[in-house]
């Protein structure tokens, strides 16, 4: 029986009820192409999250499993094992994670949240899930402690009380340590919240409790009273034990450390102010900043380590946060790049009553994770193998390429490996738990990120991992000191003139072109050889609106009027192939925004500058930002456009081939009546990304942008977004459908380019290299390219571009264009294979390279002349498919009425090509090609912010990505195959490991009772002894993790074993319960018989009248 699908029915109803038909076929010949892609090939799910956890708040480490957990302010949980094993989970409430505690070697983790809830996570499955939750209603949680190999969790609260939770059942014990019982009866003030709880390493029955006010209490769990109390004037931040349990150390708010003997009442045995200046007259040292955390770790063959954060003197204003390591007589102050959130010392043993033997310190900073090697002199750091440097400089744009040429990742890795820093620890990375996934999907994937400081990073993203391959600094091409002539340079302080705006990359030829916010363009070639460039090649291009009333057809730079008189004609800079430069310009205002360096540039192997193109100031007017960019390695052309027009650069001949203003570009086919306007009004495409508050992001996290006296260079989306984006940090769900009326107020810009080999004009019978130009008002214009013959002639003869008129018009800005052959397969633009540009060849070989024909991977070259092609055009609102060469629209689909598309890509799935769209209202959709049938529509993100809009990318084989926070990349898949294989591809966090043996007590300690004292906590905290806690104190919420755990384990032999083990555990548990019940019944029978015997003896000698 065929499965009934309600979604398809609803889609059908939607199509019927929509005012315009969703798909409409033209009157001409029937285009029957069998489309292989069906809706069952699509499914949307998150795959993996990479990068540094955004706004981290807490950290924990399992010393046996060697897994690190990091909690964040947004309620996220990130787990790290060996490089390549990482996992992301999210608490439903989204409250900040205040503390994490591993159940060491148990495959479980306890998290305490700012909303006073405690959760137990099961880590024995690939996607961890919550097993139990407990929500406190009358108490605020401040500190948690779970002793090693114990099932009782101590929870300290703001009121100063301590509650005890059984982590197996997540039920509260009736045993409570009340603050008024813990402190001196004579004390008249509340001791403050609990800031520390831990048991004595040598005696589990003794619990040390630290209160914020400065009181520390040693509580005897059995006798339910305080053994000792220690009071200090200064507030306490943390407490740590010496492993022998005879001493402990406290850190205080005045920058002091106090060391106490457990049996010593009154005063500490030692008070240290590590960073305080010691006055000569014997007075107390000056107070310092608070020491927020201290750890006291012992070694078998040397002095103990005292490690703490904070405590610097107040006169170190502006000094960065430090971690201090005191070892014997030496004190090392390790300066960090960002504020310290938390730190943990990694030790050889999980047992608190053994010599700790610390070997490393993990320091969690606000924007980094640092691991310090304690075993080597100078405390070097370990080289971090995780991809945590995505946010080194704020990400401004991204591109994602799946199924790249196989030799590309090794080539980038080989040049990138030379960029590695030196001086790291020689040891292996200490966080080494978990196992890699067993996924079989292995096609090369590369992510490229452009940053605010002008760097471009290439990442290997294959097999759901992420690893940095190569880093390119585009700012090296320019002089660091901004040019003095630039107007308003005094106002510029810490702006980002080098920020990357758009990138275009040809993976086959390895050509790269980046456009920056300063209206500059840099073209790079890839080389494996080092080279020194004496002079960086530079082209300066003028693109402007004319200031005269009259439209001058011949162009030039005769404008003298400085008044903002309206004019509609953007002008080219003289003859197209000779851009004017500042030297031969008469008006003196022809200045580029950045100055290209004049000294020789040493270029390492990797990406090397081939050409710099700059838009220059004209008549005191700054250039408009570049809104679109494209490169074709086969034709040797780069094209870029903005709101003034477009320019085509031949990077082989290093000339400008074409510089067309907007009116000239349209020619006679201009459908708009352009109003004369002032060039000074609206100098910027709307929707700048930097002036919008990005949710909770701080001002540092927002992209900064260079400003000048005349304009603010904002980082804008490649296409013009509509003005109503500026009202809020998220896109509004409902927008007026009559966007064109708004658009006409804003200046039109070029939003998209596409190079291809197709039928240039209506009715053509031969394929011609073409460039299609997509406009922000919905028009697609064509330009036919005439290339000189390959070889010597390509260097000498000019490339000619001639307009072929308008191809099609759509509603909204053009987002994407692509071409299909007659079978519906995607036609890739022609490209050139990569060759080494820096080899000096002899004459014969040079000729071979020159005569090499460009490769076109598309089947277009083998097409019969009578076969047609299909042009796919997608705008913000709709998609159309045009049959070529007849240029008739054969399919049309209205994608969204109330919202607009932010990103659209024509992608290749394993079954065929489709159009993937990401909408501002959070929907992700796919449409079949060429038929434009809706295949998938998922409401993925309810609200979309500007960062997601700027960084969302689709790529082939059902992969997509975006920046979900300023520091993290979220990868998703819309492919059913990948979703099905995901469980296999994910790594395992939990691996069966033997717990190390407990330390040997030694003969004398065993004889005289000096070893560790154990405690039957069940006897104290269990329901029989302590009773039940008040029901109104906390609510128990069972989590979904139990069922999920079974599902996760239900694959293969591991699943069978897991199920068998669970069954055995349950059976053992039931047998245990039966045994306990039998024992209880026997005890009850015994008591009854004793009672009966006593009654018998009592009644034995009594007469009948005595009863």
Beta bridge partners of 910: none
257, 306 Cβ separation under 8 angstroms: yes
Q: Is the pLDDT of residue 4 over 70?
A: no
Residue 1026, pLDDT score: 64
Q: Is 1047 exposed, middle or buried (0-12, 13-18, 19+ CB in 10 A)?
A: middle
Residue 407, pLDDT score: 93
104, 149 Cβ separation under 8 angstroms: yes
Least confident of 139-143, 454-458, 660-664, 772-776: 660-664
Residue 1077, pLDDT score: 77
Sequential DSSP letters for 173-219: EEEEE-HHHHS-TT--S---SEEEEEEETTEEEEEEEEETTSEEEEE
Q: What are phi and psi of 1061, to 5 degrees?
A: -65, -40
Is pLDDT larger for residue 1102 or for residue 935?
Answer: 935
Residue 464, pLDDT score: 86
Token pair recorded at residue 309: 């954060």
- Model confidence at 1040, pLDDT cuts 50, 70, 90, reads confident
Which pLDDT tens digit goes with each residue over 72-115? Answer: 999 999 999 999 899 999 999 999 999 999 999 999 999 999 99
The b-or-e profile of 699-735 (16+ CB within 10 A means b, else e) is eebbbbbbbbeebebbbbbbbbbbebbeeebbbeeeb
> Which residues lie closer than 8 Å to 648 by C-beta, 6 or more apart?
637, 638, 639, 656, 657, 658, 659, 771, 799, 801
Give the mean pLDDT of 735-739: 35
- Model confidence at 440, pLDDT cuts 50, 70, 90, reads low
Give the mean pLDDT of 420-447: 87
Q: Is the pLDDT of residue 207 over 90?
A: yes
- Model confidence at 123, pLDDT cuts 50, 70, 90, reads very high
Q: Is the pLDDT of residue 415 over 60?
A: yes
Q: Is the pLDDT of residue 896 over 50?
A: yes
Helix ranges (H only) for 4-97 are: 6-17
Q: Residue 1057 and residue 480: Cα distance in Å, rounded?
A: 63
Cα torsion 130, 136, 142, 144: sign: negative
What is the strand order of the sheet 194-200 is part of?
A: 194-200, 203-211, 215-220, 225-231
Which pLDDT tens digit goes with each residue over 533-557? Answer: 999 999 999 886 543 333 333 333 3
Token pair recorded at residue 605: 């192997």
Token pair recorded at residue 887: 């240029």
Token pair recorded at residue 838: 């820096």
Residue 582, pLDDT score: 36
Which pLDDT tens digit goes with each residue over 12-42? Answer: 444 433 434 445 544 444 557 888 899 999 9
CA distances from 76 to 59, 100, 767, 964 (A): 12, 12, 54, 12
Beta bridge partners of 962: 970
Could you tell me which of 698, 713, 735, 691 has the C-alpha nearest to residue 624?
713
Which pLDDT tens digit goes with each residue over 214-272? Answer: 999 999 999 889 998 999 989 999 999 999 999 999 999 999 999 999 987 778 999 99
> Which residues lie closer than 8 Å to 405 by C-beta, 6 or more apart?
444, 507, 508
- Model confidence at 691, pLDDT cuts 50, 70, 90, reads very low
Q: Is the pLDDT of residue 728 over 50?
A: no
Residue 267, pLDDT score: 87
DSSP tag of 310: E
On the CB side of 307, CA atoms within 13 Å amount to 22
Beta bridge partners of 871: 819, 882
Q: Residue 168 and residue 110: Cα distance in Å, rounded?
A: 11
Residue 729, pLDDT score: 42
- Ranked by mean pLDDT, the top range of 720-734, 925-939, 1012-1026, 1031-1045 is 925-939
Q: Is the pLDDT of residue 1102 over 70?
A: no
Give the mean pLDDT of 322-350: 94
Share of the chain above pLDDT 70, in %: 75
The SS3 call for residue 417 is helix
DSSP tag of 725: G
On the CB side of 369, CA atoms within 13 Å amount to 31
Could you tell me which of 975, 977, 976 has the C-alpha nearest to residue 916?
975
Q: Residue 579 and residue 616: Cα distance in Å, rounded?
A: 10
Q: Is the pLDDT of residue 395 over 50?
A: yes
Token pair recorded at residue 483: 């040019």
639, 771 Cβ separation under 8 angstroms: yes
Which pLDDT tens digit goes with each residue over 968-1003? Answer: 999 999 999 999 888 888 889 999 999 998 887 654
Q: Is 620 exposed, middle or buried (0-12, 13-18, 19+ CB in 10 A)?
A: middle
Share of the chain above pLDDT 90, in %: 54
Q: What angle do CA 417, 450, 445 make, to 5 degrees?
A: 60
Residue 1014, pLDDT score: 67
Give the mean pLDDT of 427-451: 89
Tally of CB atoms within 10 A around 35: 17
Which pLDDT tens digit goes with each residue over 622-673? Answer: 888 999 999 999 999 999 999 889 999 999 999 999 998 888 888 766 666 5
Helix (H) or strand (E) holding 1066: helix 1052-1100
Residue 792, pLDDT score: 86
The SS3 call for residue 959 is strand
Q: Residue 417 and residue 605: Cα distance in Å, rounded?
A: 11
Helix (H) or strand (E) holding 1023: helix 1023-1026
Which pLDDT tens digit goes with each residue over 374-383? Answer: 999 999 999 9
Tally of CB atoms within 10 A around 1091: 10
Could you tell me which of 507, 431, 417 has the C-alpha nearest to residue 469?
417
Q: Is the pLDDT of residue 732 over 70?
A: no
Residue 866, pLDDT score: 56
Q: Is 189 exposed, middle or buried (0-12, 13-18, 19+ CB in 10 A)?
A: exposed
Residue 1072, pLDDT score: 67
Q: Residue 757 and residue 521: Cα distance in Å, rounded?
A: 25
Which pLDDT tens digit goes with each residue over 556-609? Answer: 333 322 223 233 333 333 333 333 333 333 344 566 788 998 899 999 999 999
The SS3 call for residue 447 is strand
Q: Is the pLDDT of residue 796 over 60?
A: yes
Q: Is the pLDDT of residue 860 over 60?
A: no
Could you tell me which of 274, 273, 277, 245 has the C-alpha nearest to residue 260?
245
Is this model's pTM higher than 0.85 or not?
no
Q: What are phi and psi of 648, to 5 degrees?
A: -110, 125
> Which residues lie closer than 8 Å to 899 by C-beta, 6 or more apart?
731, 733, 734, 735, 919, 920, 921, 923
Give the mean pLDDT of 777-801: 91
**Ramachandran quadrant class, 1072 (left: phi over 0; alpha: psi -120 to 50; beta: rest):** alpha
Q: Widest CA span of the chain, in angstroms?
A: 140
């Amino acid at each position: 029986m065929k499965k009934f699908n309600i979604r398809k029915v609803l889609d059908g109803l939607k199509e019927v009820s929509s005012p315009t038909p969703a798909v409409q076929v033209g009157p001409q010949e029937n285009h029957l192409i069998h489309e292989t892609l069906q809706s069952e090939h699509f499914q949307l799910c998150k795959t993996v999250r990479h990068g540094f956890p955004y706004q981290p708040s807490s950290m924990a480490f399992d010393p046996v499993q060697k897994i690190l957990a990091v909690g964040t302010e947004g309620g996220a949980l990130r787990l790290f094992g060996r490089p390549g094993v990482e996992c992301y989970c999210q608490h439903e409430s989204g409250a900040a994670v205040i503390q994490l505690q591993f159940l060491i070697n148990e495959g479980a983790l306890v998290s305490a949240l700012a909303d006073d809830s405690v959760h137990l996570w099961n880590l024995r499955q690939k996607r961890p899930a919550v097993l139990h939750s407990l929500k406190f209603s009358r108490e605020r949680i401040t500190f948690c402690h779970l002793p090693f190999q114990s099932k009782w969790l101590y929870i300290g609260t703001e009121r100063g009380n301590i509650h005890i939770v059984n982590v197996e059942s997540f039920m509260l014990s009736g045993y409570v340590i009340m603050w008024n019982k813990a402190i001196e009866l004579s004390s008249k003030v509340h001791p403050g919240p609990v800031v520390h709880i831990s048991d004595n390493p040598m005696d589990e029955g003794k619990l040390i409790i630290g209160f914020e006010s400065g009181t520390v209490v040693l509580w005897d769990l059995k006798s339910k009273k305080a053994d000792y109390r220690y009071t200090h004037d200064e507030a306490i931040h943390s407490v740590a034990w010496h492993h022998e349990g005879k001493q402990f150390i406290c850190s205080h708010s005045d920058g002091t450390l106090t060391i106490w003997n457990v049996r010593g009442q009154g005063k500490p045995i030692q008070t240290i102010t590590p960073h305080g200046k010691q006055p000569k007259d014997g007075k107390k040292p000056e107070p310092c900043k608070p020491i927020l955390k201290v750890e006291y770790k012992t070694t078998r063959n040397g002095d103990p380590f005292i490690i703490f954060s904070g405590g610097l003197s107040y006169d170190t204003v502006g000094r960065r946060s430090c971690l201090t390591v005191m070892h014997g007589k030496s004190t090392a102050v390790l300066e960090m790049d960002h504020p310290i959130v938390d730190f943990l010392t990694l030790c050889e043993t999980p047992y608190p009553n053994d010599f700790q033997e610390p070997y490393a310190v993990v320091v969690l900073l606000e924007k980094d994770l640092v691991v310090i090697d304690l075993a080597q002199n100078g405390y070097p750091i370990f080289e971090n193998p995780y991809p945590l440097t995505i946010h080194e400089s704020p990400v401004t744009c991204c591109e994602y390429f799946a199924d790249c040429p196989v030799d590309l990742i090794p080539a980038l890795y080989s040049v990138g490996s030379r960029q590695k820093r030196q001086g790291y620890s020689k040891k292996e990375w200490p966080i080494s738990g978990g196992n890699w996934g067993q996924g079989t999907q292995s096609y090369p994937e590369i992510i490229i990120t452009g940053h605010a400081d002008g760097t471009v990073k290439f990442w290997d993203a294959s097999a759901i991992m992420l690893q940095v391959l190569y880093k390119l600094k585009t700012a090296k091409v320019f002089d660091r000191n901004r040019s003095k002539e630039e107007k308003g340079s005094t106002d510029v302080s810490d702006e980002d003139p080098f920020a990357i705006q758009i990138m275009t990359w040809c993976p086959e030829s390895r050509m790269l072109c980046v456009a920056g916010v300063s209206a500059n363009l840099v073209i790079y070639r890839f080389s494996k050889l080092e080279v020194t460039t004496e002079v960086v090649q530079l082209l300066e291009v003028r693109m402007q609106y004319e200031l005269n009333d009259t439209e001058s057809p011949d162009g030039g730079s005769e404008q003298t009027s400085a008044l903002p008189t309206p004019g509609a004609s953007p002008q080219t800079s003289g003859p197209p192939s000779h851009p004017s430069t500042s030297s031969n310009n008469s008006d003196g205002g022809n200045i580029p925004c950045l100055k290209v360096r004049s000294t020789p540039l040493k270029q390492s192997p990797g990406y090397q500058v081939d050409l710099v193109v700059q838009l220059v100031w004209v008549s005191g007017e700054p250039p408009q930002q570049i809104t679109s960019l494209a490169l074709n390695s086969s034709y040797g052309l780069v094209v870029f456009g903005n709101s003034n027009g477009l320019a085509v650069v031949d990077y082989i001949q290093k000339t400008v081939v074409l510089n067309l203003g907007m009116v000239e570009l349209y020619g006679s086919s201009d459908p708009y009546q352009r109003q004369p306007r002032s060039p000074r009004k609206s100098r910027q495409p709307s929707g700048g990304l930097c002036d919008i508050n990005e949710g909770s992001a701080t001002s540092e996290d927002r992209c900064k942008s260079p400003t000048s006296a005349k304009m603010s260079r904002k980082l804008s989306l490649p296409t013009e977004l509509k003005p109503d984006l500026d009202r809020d940090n998220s896109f509004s769900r409902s927008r007026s459908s009559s966007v064109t009326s708004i658009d006409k107020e804003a200046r039109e810009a070029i939003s998209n380019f596409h190079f291809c080999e197709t039928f240039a004009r209506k009715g053509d019978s031969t394929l011609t290299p073409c460039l299609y130009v997509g406009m922000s008002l919905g028009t697609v214009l064509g330009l036919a390219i005439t290339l000189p013959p390959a070889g010597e002639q390509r260097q000498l003869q000019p490339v000619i571009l001639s307009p072929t008129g308008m191809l099609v018009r759509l509603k909204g800005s053009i987002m994407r264009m692509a071409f299909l052959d007659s079978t519906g397969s995607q036609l890739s633009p022609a490209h050139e294979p990569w060759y080494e540009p820096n080899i000096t060849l002899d004459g014969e070989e040079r000729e071979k390279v020159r005569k090499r024909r460009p490769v076109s991977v598309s089947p277009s070259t083998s097409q019969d002349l009578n076969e047609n092609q299909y042009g796919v055009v997608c705008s913000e609102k709709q998609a159309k498919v045009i049959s070529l060469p007849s240029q008739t629209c054969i399919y049309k689909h209205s994608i969204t009425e109330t919202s607009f598309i932010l990103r659209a890509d024509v992608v290749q799935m394993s079954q065929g090509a489709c159009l993937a769209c990401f909408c501002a209202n959070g929907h992700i959709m796919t449409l079949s090609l060429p038929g434009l049938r809706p295949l998938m529509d998922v409401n993925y993100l309810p609200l979309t912010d500007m960062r997601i809009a700027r960084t969302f990318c689709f790529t082939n084989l059902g992969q997509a990505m975006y920046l979900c926070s300023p520091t993290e990349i979220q990868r998703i898949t819309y492919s059913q195959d990948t979703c099905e294989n995901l469980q296999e591809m994910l790594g395992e966090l939990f691996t069966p490991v033997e717990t190390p043996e407990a330390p040997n007590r030694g003969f004398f300690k065993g004889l005289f009772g000096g070893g560790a004292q154990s405690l039957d906590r069940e006897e104290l905290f269990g329901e029989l002894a302590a009773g039940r806690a008040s029901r109104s104190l906390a609510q128990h919420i069972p989590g979904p993790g139990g069922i999920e755990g079974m599902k996760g384990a239900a694959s293969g032999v591991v699943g069978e074993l897991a199920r068998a083990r669970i069954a055995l555990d349950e059976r053992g548990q039931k047998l245990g319960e039966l045994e306990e019940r039998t024992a209880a019944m026997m005890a009850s029978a015994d008591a009854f018989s004793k009672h009966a015997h006593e009654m018998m003896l009592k009644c034995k000698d009594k007469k009948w009248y005595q009863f």
